[in-house]
Amino acid sequence: MSLADPERHLSDVYRIDRLTAEFLFPETEQAFRSSIRDAWIEETRRAIFLAALFFLMFAFTDHVIMIGDPDYFLVLASRIVVTAVALSAAYSAQRLWRHMVDGFIPSVVVVFGLAAFVWKVTVVPVDYGVHGMGMMAMLLGVYVFIPNRFLNVVVIALVASFGFMLVTLIHFNLSLGQILTVLALLVVTNILGAMAARRTSLTMRKDYCAQAVLRAANERLEREAEERRRLEAELRHRADHDDTTGVANRAAFFDAAGRLFAETEEARQPLSLIMADVDYFKQLNGTYGHLRGDDVLRALVEVCAAVLPQPYFLARFGGEEFVVLLPGTALEGAGRVAERVRAECQRMPVAIAEVAIHFSISAGVVQRRPGERLNVLLRRADEAMFAAKYRGRNRVEVAD
């Protein structure tokens, strides 16, 4: 399953492992690391650079403590090597960002630094307490200063603490009380450091989870809003369009007619109307069924879309009747348009019950007279259409 899998619940996708303080789901953890990439790299580079600078600065105190001691140059060399490793890691952060984010590079830098420090215990001649305080500072830096993965930090710090304790026991002749003191300090430092590192890791992932849940909620709301807009648009479309043919319905025709009446009057343009009716449509329905009759109506609409000049407004007026408004077209031109529609309908076959049949229409054409109301215009067009049917169908009648 992927993060986009709708069957995977968010509580599963963003569940955090109590031991590692990381997401249980690998893809979620990978997405989290990618999301913090830039900030994590910048913060880690800065932390490594400062840690390297601090580590090198203590070469001065080593010099003061080890004046005349030939081992000083070994200690100085170890600090230079650790600093070089750290600076190389910081320099390579962008190019090796995956290893920076997954903790490999920070872990390498920390291991080099701790190893050098533990080795230095055997060389630098200071009291065990000074080394102990230095080790505590190193551990706190590992836990809270240099960004890293929680489990990496804990393992490295515990191994380093064990190594430091072992070297201290070997190199210094400590009493039982001193041993217990050093041990207690290491234990407390590791516990506090681990708690701080774990809290940081958990907080970052919980913040990411909260942001992801918020994004998911916003996306869901956006999808719901988009679906609502789609449904509203569909309802508006269905409210003024015919379901069978997809053209405007009777109500939409009356709205469009009022608008076109006003526009053509203002522009002093002619406005013609064609009323067409499919011939013998009831017989077609009775013989082949209503579904096949609908195919004929859709074929008529296709013919109109191919033949009618722009601009035009086509609507299903009722049953097998259609009306066409032609703004800017005078009566004679509208008659020619209607004749082309009639001829194309007669020519175009419609496949019904594996048989190609031809259908015809009868049409009446009128032009609106100045100030003429819509109902009067429709009545004249209807009379012209019925005159075409009375005179034999499959013809166009143009009424003055």
Considering the candidates 29, 222, 302, 320, report the single residue annotated as catalytic: 320
The pLDDT tens digits for 369-379 are 999 999 999 99
Mean pLDDT (whole number) for 22-32 = 90
Tell me, what's the pLDDT at 198?
Answer: 94
Q: Nearest 10 degrees: CA dihedral of 108, 114, 115, 118?
A: 180
The pLDDT tens digits for 46-89 are 999 999 999 999 999 988 998 888 899 999 999 999 999 999 98
The pLDDT tens digits for 106-152 are 999 999 999 999 999 999 888 889 999 999 999 999 999 999 999 99
Residue 7 confidence (pLDDT) above 50: no
Tell me, what's the pLDDT at 94?
Answer: 81
Domains of the chain: 10-218 (no CATH), 250-398 (3.30.70.270)
pTM value? 0.61
The rounded distance, in Å, linking the Cα atoms of 333 and 56 is: 96
* 319 strand-pairing partners: none
The rounded distance, in Å, linking the Cα atoms of 200 and 203 is: 5
Beta carbons within 10 angstroms of residue 183's beta carbon: 14
* 376 strand-pairing partners: none
The pair of structure tokens assigned to 2 is 């992927």
The rounded distance, in Å, linking the Cα atoms of 267 and 176 is: 109
315: nearest Cα among 324, 326, 328, 303 = 324
The pLDDT tens digits for 252-289 are 999 999 999 999 999 999 999 999 999 999 988 888 78
Tell me, what's the pLDDT at 11?
Answer: 67
Q: Report the Cα 213 to chain-centroid distance in Å.
A: 14
CA angle, 188 then 41 then 45, to 5°: 70
Helix, strand or coil for residue 255? helix
Q: Report the Cα 400 to chain-centroid distance in Å.
A: 61
Helix, strand or coil for residue 269? coil
Bond prior to 106 in cis (omega within 30° of 0): no
Mean pLDDT (whole number) for 200-212 = 92
314 neighbors 240 (Cβ within 8 angstroms):
no
The rounded distance, in Å, linking the Cα atoms of 101 and 86 is: 15
The pair of structure tokens assigned to 200 is 């940081």
The pLDDT tens digits for 342-380 are 999 999 888 766 778 889 999 999 999 999 999 999 999
Radius of gyration of the chain (CA): 44
Tell me, what's the pLDDT at 258?
Answer: 94
Cβ neighbors of 59 (< 8 A, separation 6 or more) are 75, 76, 79
Segment holding 273, helix H or strand E: strand 271-278
Q: Each residue of 219-240: b (16+ CB within 10 Å) or e?
A: eeeeeeeeeeeeeeeeeeeeee
Catalytic residue check, 354 = no
The rounded distance, in Å, linking the Cα atoms of 143 and 186 is: 13
**pLDDT range class, residue 10, cuts 50, 70, 90:** low
Beta carbons within 10 angstroms of residue 370's beta carbon: 6
Cα-Cα-Cα-Cα dihedral sign, residues 90, 96, 98, 99: negative
Residue 6 confidence (pLDDT) above 80: no
- Among residues of the chain, what percentage have pLDDT more than 90? 69
- Checking 257-262 for CB contacts under 8 A at 24+ apart, the result is 257/313, 257/325, 257/374, 258/374, 260/313, 260/325, 260/327, 261/368, 261/374
Give strand ranges (E) for 153-250. Answer: none
